Amino acid sequence: MPATSVDQAQLCVNTIKFLSADAVEKAKSGHPGAPMGAADMAYVLWAKYMRFDPGDPRWPNRDRFVLSAGHASMLLYSLLHLFEFDLPMDELQRFRQWGSKTPGHPEYGHTPGVEATTGPLGQGFANGVGMALAQRMMQARLKRHADLLNHRVFGIVSDGDLMEGISSEAASLAGHWSLGNLTYLYDDNRVSIEGPTGLAFCENVGRRFDAYGWHVEAVDGNDRDQVDQALFRAVAEETQPSLIVARTIIAKGAPTKQGTAKAHGEPLGQEELNAAKQAAGWPLTPPFHVPEEARAHFHALAEEKRRQRSEWNERFAAFRRDNPEGASIWDTYFTRKIPANLDELLAGAAPTQEGATRAHSGAVLQAAAAAVPSLVGGSADLEPSTLTGIKGGGDVVPSGLTCGAPVNYSGRVLHFGVREHAMASIGTGMSLYGTFIPYVGTFLIFSDYLRPSIRLASLSGVRVIYVFTHDSVFLGEDGPTHQPIEHLPSLRLIPGLEVWRPADGLETAMAWARAIQRDKAPTALVLTRQKLPAIARRDGFDRREIGRGGYVLEDSDGAAAELTILATGSEVSLARETRTLLRAGGVPARLVSMPCFEAFRAQPESYRDSVIPKGSRLVVIEASRIEPWCDLVGEDCLWIGLDRFGASAPAPVIAEKLGFTPAAVTEKVQRWLERG
């Protein structure tokens, strides 16, 4: 690191502070306080400890920085600009404006150098845990060449992050996994939107994290020397994640608003900002001022980081030259290599006999894992029910299941305990890391616990696979607390998420193939607990039709169809029996299996019309709320769904009581046709 005087460091810190405050003031919107209070520790971290290449934000051995306190986004944007990432000054001046690269909260894939989409508090904290875990798992796969990925994960977290339950779940796992490559600076400014954190938050955070197995230190976050020393010790700690409790002053330097909630979620106001600048000896004009000396110093720092990258390039070139086997492993993971015939491989592994689709999924997963080394995952203490283990894949657990013992990072099976929310967000972090395709599993009813993380994964455009089993009232005796009703339509409302509800082994295999191949979006697989009949398809059936989201499973045997029946998952077999009864009663019908709305909607109109003919009378059967079907097929149809909670009873009894038997459905259809 180039030599830095105290005055020069203060000049750089002031540059960060006032760039951030000027942007918020110009936008008349945002959070100036956290950037001004955290500028000292952010400068020390970025200048002295973090390794990155501003010209290549995706360099594999870069240190990751996660701003979990996403409301302080201008702190990150100021750092990215000053360290010469592709974020020019005019983007800072367009903070929070339409089309700018500086949105109100950081967005992955939108701004160079942003590692995770943050803002909903606690999410970035858990994402960083996922990144740190992925790095350790990659080092285990590289073995003696692990130093090619000797980077770390750093972050700044806030009071709000640590109040959210997800951070407690993720912190517990980080300690359990001994993630010594993870360091968070806790911006302990003791101010939230409503006022002092003492209104609702008086706990000793350091003692809590000590109990989780973290290395904990407390410093004055506005004292750069203290921050430097604490970071030095954190980086030296290899077996425990580190939390540096940094006591700071929000909006430090603002004469009347520092230390108050007035600096949290609104601009300082030009008068207050000018007073802060005057107190610091900073020119009032022009706004967005970067002194030449500060610019030159940041340039020297950036050049040093580019030099570190060049040294790594030499080591990496030697690795490629001297170790072709290791280079092949590297490429397999960093491209997340998928065989071109994945569909064929998974279809060949799909059970053809009757069975629960969760069991079909478990069988298909084994073939997928054999074909795709990047595929890793597990469940929230439900693997015996979700069937999400990889046989022979090895568990990522401490040796002898003894807390603090060395962890088997070479494994592929993750055990999240009963921590659904952190599980999903950690999965996002692993996907963001860039080498793994993570899947996570639980019951569909608990998708509510995952929903914020699923939404952010979709917003971020990353590949995570959610395996949801026990998908309907037909799971039986566990009763209405565990029987999903509104969850299918709720998940279908998330933009970008594909929700697959397969009806048999082949549909399950094609759903897995689709999920693995979707490299810029997440996928939910929704699976049954109960057994479903095997499905025999027509001669010459092309399994690729399943991948289109909806297809004609059975047609009307040459006669003109009087109606089209659409169903998903377990209701497809019910619809088949209903179709048989209708045909016996003189009503020819077409049966469409619709495992995925989103994939079907993406098909050309001509294909959609060939499956669901315009003007056809329609019957929809699905054991859930059915509102989203309206957009797909319109309102002029018969809806056979649920608008009530379930009950505790064996599945056949539930089916009878709630009208999901072939005889009951046939009777409803016949009455509807007569009325029409």
- Our answer to whether residue 420 is catalytic in this structure is yes
- The token duo for 615 is 């003007």
Q: Determine if residue 160 is labeled as part of a ligand binding site.
A: yes
Q: Does residue 653 have a known ligand-binding role?
A: no
Amino acid at 265: G
Name residue 72's amino acid.
Answer: A
Contacts 24+ apart (CB under 8 A), 89-94: 89/288, 89/290, 92/19, 92/23, 92/288, 93/23, 93/26, 93/288
421 known ligand binder: no
Q: Is 299 annotated as a binding residue?
A: no
Task: Report the alpha-carbon distance of residue 355 to residue 574 in Å, rounded.
Answer: 15
Annotated binding-site residue? 313: no
Would you call 658 exposed, middle or buried from its count of C-beta atoms within 10 A (0-12, 13-18, 19+)? middle
- 289 in a known ligand binding site: no
Q: Which of 624, 609, 559, 565 is nearest to 590 (CA)?
A: 565
470 annotated ligand-binding residue: yes
DSSP characters over 72-130: GHHHHHHHHHHTT-S--HHHHTTTT-TT-S--SS--TTTSTT--S---STTHHHHHHHH
Residue 85 to residues 101, 207, 242, Cα–Cα distance (Å): 12, 38, 27
Q: Which of these, 414, 388, 391, lies nearest to 468 by C-alpha position?
A: 388
482 assigned to a ligand binding site: yes
> What residue type is 589 in one-letter code?
A
Q: Is residue 497 a known part of a binding site?
A: no
Residue 159, annotated as binding a ligand: yes
**Packing angle between helix 420-433 and helix 123-142, nearest 10 degrees?**
50
**Torsional sign, CA 245, 82, 54, 2:** negative
Q: Is 264 among the annotated ligand-binding positions? A: yes
Q: Which of 217, 420, 507, 554 is catalytic?
A: 420
| 446 in a known ligand binding site | yes
Retrieve residue 291's tokens.
């002194």
90: Cβ–Cβ under 8 A, 6 or more apart, which residues?
none
189 is in an annotated binding site: yes
151 appears as a binding residue in the annotation: no
Q: At what angle do helices 123-142 and 324-334 cross, to 10 degrees?
A: 160
- 157 beta partners: 186
Does residue 360 have a known ligand-binding role? Answer: no
Residue numbering of the annotated binding site:
31, 71, 119-121, 159-160, 189, 191, 264, 358, 385, 446, 470, 478, 482, 529
Residue numbering of the annotated binding site for substrate:
31, 264, 358, 385, 470, 478, 482, 529
**Catalytic residue positions, numbered:** 420
Residue numbering of the annotated binding site for thiamine diphosphate:
71, 119-121, 160, 189, 264, 446
Residue numbering of the annotated binding site for Mg(2+):
159, 189, 191
